[in-house]
Amino acid sequence: MACIKVDYDKCTGLGICESLAPEFFEVSDDGNLTLLEEEAGPDALDDVREAVAGCPTEALSLKE
């Protein structure tokens, strides 16, 4: 299991994370990010890693 962390001060709500891992991230119409699951299991880890790497503001991190 890996723990997903969000720095909400850095998040701008672009939604790249949501498009890459929609079961973990949801961006509302007003641009606020909701973390749907705080931990990612082995089956979803690749998607979450891609979402973390794809965040342009580096608001996401993963602790494995």
Distance (Å, whole) CA 52 – CA 29: 21
Mean pLDDT for all residues in the chain: 97
Structural domain boundaries, residue 27: 2-63
Residue 48 is predicted with a pLDDT of 98
What's the domain count of the chain?
1
Cα maximum dimension of the chain? 31
What is the pTM for the complete model shown?
0.93
Domain containing residue 41: CATH number: 3.30.70.20
List the helix and strand counts (H, then E) for the chain.
2, 5
Residue 19 is predicted with a pLDDT of 97
